[in-house]
Amino acid sequence: MDSRRDFLKTSLFGIGASALMNPQLSWGSEDKPPMRFIFMHRGNGLWPRVMVPPSFDETLQKKEQQKSAYEVDLNGHELPEWMAPLSNHVDNLTILQGLSGKMCTVGHHSWSSSLGVYKANERVSSIKWATVDFELAKLFPSPVEHLELACFPLGGGNARGSLDGIATGFSARGPQQPNYAFGSPRIAMEELFKSVSKDQATQVQYQLDRMVLEFAARNEGATARTLVNAEKNKIQNYANSIEAIRERSRKVDAMAETIRKHVPQLDPKYLEADISTFDRQIGHAEVLLGALISGLTNVVAFTVDELGHAYTGITGIEGATVNMHDVGHGKTIAGVEAAEIRKRCRTHHMKLVDTIVQRLKSVPEGDGTMFDNTMLLYFPDGGETHHSHGYEFPFVILAGDNTRLNIGRRYIRLPNYGDAGHKTLGNFYTTLLNAYGNPIEHYGALDVGLNAYGIDQTGPMTKLMG
Amino acid sequence: MRIVFIIFIATLSSVSTAKANETVEPFAVPGPIQRILQQSCLHCHNGETSEGQIRLDSLSELQHTERLELLNKAQDQLFFGLMPPEEAESLMPQQQTELRNWLRAELQAHNASKLDDKLLYPSYGNYVDHDALFVRSALEPAFTPARRWLVSPQIFHHRVMDIFQLTDRERTGYATRSFFGVTNPFILPDHSGVRDYSITSLDGGHLLVMLKNAQWIASKQIFAAENKGKDRNAIIYSNKQDRWFPQVTPIEFEEIIVSVTEPTEDQFLAAIVKQFQLVLRRPPSTEEQTAYLELIKSTTQLAGKTEGLRQMLVTVLLESEFLYRLELGRAKEDTHGRRQLTPHEASFAISYALGDRGPDDTLLEAAQEGRLETREDFKREVTRLLADENYYRGQIDSTLNGKHYQSDVVSHPKIIRFFRDFFGYTESLKIFKDVKRSEGKYQNPGRGTHGTPGWLTYEADRIVTYHVERDEDVFNSLLTSDKFFVYYNMPQEQGDQLLREWQEVYEHLKDTAWKTQPERVLEENLEFLKERKGMRIMDNSRPGELVNHMHFFAESFGQGRKPFTRIPWSHGYTYHHSPFYSLPPTPSIGRYGSWKSTRYEGDRIELKSFWDYPTEQPFTIENRKGILTHPAWLIAHSTNFHADPIRRGRWIREKLLAGRVPDVPITVDAQVPEDPHHTFRERVEMVTQGNECWKCHKEMNPLGFAFEMYDDFGRFRTVEKLEHPENLIKSGDGKGTFDVYKTTPVVTSGSLTGTGTEELDGAVDNALELIDRLAQSDRVRQSIIRHAFRFYLGRNEMLSDAKTLRDADKAYLSSGGSFKSIIISLLTSDSFIYRK
């Protein structure tokens, strides 16, 4: 595969794309590629106990049971069986345990809580601010800025109307502004890569969009020209915004060659309507890779599943439709115990992670690979279990060599809830944001319950700052 | 649903303005100004001293942009009274004026006065001198600058309903819920005080949301015609959850969709005119007709007639005019250079001032027939619409609806919203509490519920509604009434009837074996019970419920008290907030066990004293006086952890006393120190006593300290818990038992300054005395009127609005304290009618 950097240097697109980026951070202007982030979150809780390498000795196991803080180099340790697909990436792997998130909505459904660190619910008004993935996307601008993919829930208290459409996602662009996610690889392919689509209807739609925007830009621009001062700004801002979208369209057009090159070459089965959950996840992973490698976006939120999603395609019980709520309550389905179903799902998720990491490692970039500039986070949307309280949000993190966090090849258990030095999701995201250029003092709501323990819960986790 | 622009979901960065190569323009400081600078400024701000890294001795050598920046800083310092500093010699008033005028003229000549921009914002409203507005200044012809005013979230929603031409039940239904594919692009800022100002611009965020909205709305506009003649069950929906569509597609659109031949130019034009009427409420101009005709022809040629039409509909929906209220005025100016609102603009301005909907038919007719010309015309229409109980009728705030309660429906929700914004008690919904600190009573907002602050906001709305509907002495009543609504769930007559029946049942059965043989007791007394409709007993199938009822009655009637008029085991019961009014608690939801069980729980649980519920409401609550002692207001003006005297004091200074408190300087880390041995008040006093801090805190602390009689949950208190691990006396499990801390008496003394009336200013013992004095103050009344002006005019007052404000004040006084008289006065003022 050609180096993306080489391609950018020699193509017209290179000029266009670099102009889109923040000059301070731009790949084009500073010879420094942008950082990429993939937030993979899943429903039904993630048990802290399954994160622990089985090779830990008795002392470590005891610490684990007592939830005492400790840190271990993963080198030489056996990974939990379900993490086996990550065995080639241990140097990049961090298992982070002990972050609490009681300031989030937890339990069955959490909406944008685990990405935004506040109590979100079904009401748009509960969205307090942009979720952390959007904050990072602002630091590493791209034509699409942010991509969200989801295996939508069709049941439960957070249901969407369709598995395959575009619907409210789990990220938020700003206060009271939910993001929209692609439910199926097919629709994501159609929309993201429509500028290079060979399908005539898609091409027509693309032309129509352009006509409407061109008309609107001309129209508003003409109105603005007749005004002065504040009143002019009221229209000019809007006209400029339309123009900015058109400009982005032009840039995407200029990227056509690169985009065409990285359009996911998916087996037709991944584009069908009655795709299984496991296949849907594989399809999404391919779309995600296409969007990252082509440079359409640098940040992806991927809702691997949500409690209300009816799972299909699970290894060994491919024909069964599995209600994850039942699994949460320990029900045996199609002769397979709930814990085993959970494990098979997690294993599949790790295979997806392996695919993503391997692929990015195969794309040359700078003196290394695209993965050097990538961080992937896999975590639960609601905490430690099905009926969680938010005491723990376990994370599996894979980070490339250029990560600005002091992590890698480590198992980290942080001080338990209420113990001195305890850290929250807010501390972790503050660390990420601070490390990558947003000096925010603290990201996220505070846990009013932690106050009783006299813990200062604001600010980054200094130990993780690189 | 098609969303075609999703690829562009991105934050639109504003276009940066690169600095052009600048040349030093000829610049000279006039002689008199030089002398003032020399005498009062240059001593500290010269090349050698450069106090605060500011030099004023080299103005002429600076580049143009740098000079403007420095002049802006100087203007701010002078305007806000920060320079010269207190320890330095002050400027003579005439010198002040000369310097200010020169700075202002210099900056305005380059359209660069940042102060002018700042003064447009809500937080700078009070910088217009109060006495000048109400007493001193000469009366000038009033006007409002010609403007585009961004629609409010509620107006936007009604505009979408207008596009779909919804009426009757369908409109009523959608008035309290959102459309599946429409995201409201507008949110009002979070702060107490008026929030909807005409200074906001459309931006990229609005556009991104509207791109998606427009696609959905346009698709729904033509959906009925596309599926005409189909069996409803045969219609294919792209999303099964999104099955609603307006039953009729406008005929102008339908004719194009069903046409078997190429649509004619006339048909296209008719569709364009219709969409303009629906979306922009006016016909297109000739130029617009030509442009849109060209567009629809192109889109039709590319994608066919239906899709071509849809794209035209989308494009009109993207017009910025859809999202603004246009108030530009007529072509002709009067002798003062003002332009009266056109009748069309006036009809919308009046209607959007009174509610969220556009004008009703009568108002539109008045506009069309030349009967919206004079002040009397305005008065006639405003008075008529204020008396109309139905046109604007709706919920005060549908976003407050929870699973088991709905916001109250009133005739003019927008009036209640003024008082909500002014008092800011809805901010309580944003404060999260550690539930254990409230002995487990407080419920934070969560999924499907707004929890305790939701209930409190709802009940604060009720007391506001009560006084607004009485419309007598409104401000005083709101500030000083000791009557409140708590748990009020049915009219008194109905409540009395229910309690009468319940008590009859209790008296009739109390000596039976209801605890041990409920089945038999139920069977034997079935007819008696069925006659008491309030028991809702239809047969003998639920003996467990009889046990619950009797247990509930034994704990109320049995102890000489009345129970609340809803059984606590009923579905969706969430009434647990009486303790926040310092009233006794009511039974918890699980206290009587499941109605399915016949087990009597009384043997296992301790007998408790519950609240003696008053069916007649509002009713008097001890140690409370008006909205400022309502727990919703008290929580809203607290932190997550503490009662906040600074926040409470600041609200009173700014909202009631028309005073000014500068923002915390960015160099100050405003933190109250942790200290286990002192109350929060003591710690605030310690940290704000320094000269630099006290300059501002003297405006807030003495007012807020009087409210130390209420904790951060809004509960009356005489002692403060010193919630620190060092002071823990007894640890609780956080469920049934709770942490007990050492306490210390609270000090509630404070002082009132700034009323402008000598007899009212001075020391106060507590909040109740403070409130009594505030309520007597002219300045407080006038300050509320200033905020009403801002609410109804969408901007800060200017000195030229003095007559408008004085007229409103007179109208209020002469009407015996009618708020509606203020509305009429404001909406018939020159400030409302004229643009410039």
Q: What is the ipTM of this complex?
A: 0.82
Chain-centre distance for alpha carbon B495: 32
At B22 the pLDDT is 47
Å from B468 to nearest chain A CA? 27
What value does the mean pLDDT take over residues B545-571? 96
Residue B281 DSSP symbol:
S
Give dist(CA B76, CA B263) in Å, integer: 62
Cβ–Cβ under 8 Å, residues A333 and A341 = yes
Give dist(CA A224, CA B20) in Å, integer: 23
Give the tens place of pLDDT for each residue, A173-225: 888 788 888 999 988 988 888 888 888 888 898 899 999 999 999 999 999 89
Give the tens place of pLDDT for each residue, B612-652: 999 999 999 999 999 999 999 999 999 888 999 999 999 99
B/e letters for B387-415, b = 16+ CB within 10 Å, e = fewer, are: ebeebbebbbbbbbbbeebebbebbbbbb
Cβ–Cβ under 8 Å, residues A116 and A123 = no
Hey, which residues does B150 pair with through a beta bridge? B324
Give dist(CA A66, CA A75) in Å, integer: 23
Give dist(CA B277, CA B319) in Å, integer: 13
The confidence band for B665, taking pLDDT boundaries of 50, 70 and 90, is low
- Domain extents in chain A: 33-139+277-282+315-464, 195-254
Give dist(CA B799, CA B797) in Å, integer: 7
Residue with tokens 């069964």: A320
- Asked if B12 and A245 come within 8 Å (Cβ–Cβ), the reply is yes
The total number of residues written for chain B in this structure: 836
What value does the mean pLDDT take over residues A293-313? 95
Cβ–Cβ under 8 Å, residues B32 and B94 = no
Give dist(CA B429, CA B442) in Å, integer: 12
CA separation, residue A455 to residues A417, A423, B589 (Å): 10, 9, 34
Give dist(CA B446, CA B466) in Å, integer: 29
With contacts defined as CB-CB under 8 Å, which chain A residues touch B318? 212, 216, 242
Q: Residue B111: left if φ>0, alpha if ψ -120 to 50, beta else—which one?
A: left
Angle between helices B286-303 and A200-225 (to 10 degrees): 170
Answer whether B671 touches A (CB < 8 Å).
no
**How many CA atoms lie within 13 Å of B810's alpha carbon, on the beta-carbon side?**
10
With contacts defined as CB-CB under 8 Å, which chain B residues touch A191? 3-4, 6-7
At A28 the pLDDT is 47
At B14 the pLDDT is 30
Structure tokens at B421: 């914004």
Answer whether B673 touches A (CB < 8 Å).
no
- Asked if A238 and B207 come within 8 Å (Cβ–Cβ), the reply is yes
The confidence band for B167, taking pLDDT boundaries of 50, 70 and 90, is very high
Of B146, B203, B739, the CB nearest to A241: B203
With contacts defined as CB-CB under 8 Å, which chain A residues touch B640? 446, 448, 451
pLDDT reading at A288 higher than 90: yes
Angle between helices B153-163 and B265-280 (to 10 degrees): 150
pLDDT reading at B26 higher than 80: no
Other CB atoms within 10 A of residue A23 CB = 11
What value does the mean pLDDT take over residues A102-128? 89
Local structure of B395: helix, strand or coil: strand
B240, B299, B319, B447: which to substitute to probe chain A, counting the most A Cβ within 10 Å?
B447
Angle at A195 between CA A190 and CA A197, to 5 degrees: 55
Give dist(CA B90, CA B99) in Å, integer: 13
The confidence band for B16, taking pLDDT boundaries of 50, 70 and 90, is very low
Q: How far apart are the first and last CA of chain B?
A: 44
Q: Alpha helices, DSSP H only, in A323-370?
A: 324-328, 338-361
Answer whether B147 touches A (CB < 8 Å).
yes
Answer whether B148 touches A (CB < 8 Å).
yes
At B25 the pLDDT is 56
- Nearest chain A residue (CA) to B291: A215
Phi then psi for A51, rounded to 5 degrees? -85, -10
Using a 10 angstrom Cβ sphere, with 0-12 exposed, 13-18 middle and 19 or more buried, the burial of residue A265 is exposed
Please count the residue pairs, one from chain A and one from chain B, whose beta carbons lie less than 8 angstroms apart: 186
Cβ–Cβ under 8 Å, residues A426 and A399 = no
Other CB atoms within 10 A of residue A53 CB = 18
Answer whether B10 touches A (CB < 8 Å).
yes
Give dist(CA A254, CA A260) in Å, integer: 11
Q: Are strands A147-150 and A299-303 parallel, antiparallel or unpaired?
A: parallel
Give dist(CA A218, CA B319) in Å, integer: 11
pLDDT reading at A6 higher than 70: no
pLDDT reading at A30 higher than 60: no
What value does the mean pLDDT take over residues B44-60? 75
Give the tens place of pLDDT for each residue, A386-420: 989 999 999 999 999 999 999 989 999 999 999 99
Q: Alpha helices, DSSP H only, in B264-374?
A: 265-280, 286-303, 305-317, 343-354, 361-368
Using a 10 angstrom Cβ sphere, with 0-12 exposed, 13-18 middle and 19 or more buried, the burial of residue A57 is exposed
Give dist(CA A283, CA A291) in Å, integer: 12
Cβ–Cβ under 8 Å, residues A345 and A82 = no
Give dist(CA B137, CA B131) in Å, integer: 8
CATH code of the domain occupying A33-139+277-282+315-464: 3.40.720
To the nearest whole number, what is the mean pLDDT of chain A? 88
At B274 the pLDDT is 98
Cβ–Cβ under 8 Å, residues B659 and B609 = no
With contacts defined as CB-CB under 8 Å, which chain A residues touch B206? 238, 241
Give the tens place of pLDDT for each residue, B565-612: 999 999 889 999 999 999 999 999 889 988 899 999 888 888 888 999
Hey, which residues does A37 pair with through a beta bridge? A299, A375
Give the tens place of pLDDT for each residue, B170-211: 999 999 888 988 888 888 877 788 999 999 888 887 888 899
Give the tens place of pLDDT for each residue, A223-259: 989 888 788 888 988 998 898 888 888 888 888 888 9
- Asked if B432 and A103 come within 8 Å (Cβ–Cβ), the reply is yes
Q: How far apart are the first and last CA of chain A?
A: 32
Interface of B with A in 766-805 (CB under 8 A): none
Q: Name the pTM for this structure.
A: 0.81
Other CB atoms within 10 A of residue B174 CB = 17
At B209 the pLDDT is 83
Amino acid, single-letter form, for residue B815 = S
What value does the mean pLDDT take over residues B72-93? 77
The confidence band for A82, taking pLDDT boundaries of 50, 70 and 90, is very high
To the nearest whole number, what is the mean pLDDT of chain B? 91
CA separation, residue A45 to residues A48, A64, A395 (Å): 9, 19, 11
Q: Return the closest-CA partner of residue B440 out of B317, B556, B554, B580.
A: B580
At B6 the pLDDT is 36
Give dist(CA A51, CA A81) in Å, integer: 10
**Weakest mean pLDDT among A15-19, A34-38, A87-91, B749-753:** A15-19
**Weakest mean pLDDT among B113-117, B514-518, B824-828:** B113-117
Give dist(CA A201, CA A191) in Å, integer: 12
Interface of B with A in 178-197 (CB under 8 A): 183-184, 187
With contacts defined as CB-CB under 8 Å, which chain A residues touch B432? 103, 119, 445, 448
pLDDT reading at B24 higher than 60: no
Angle at A60 between CA A54 and CA A64, to 5 degrees: 85
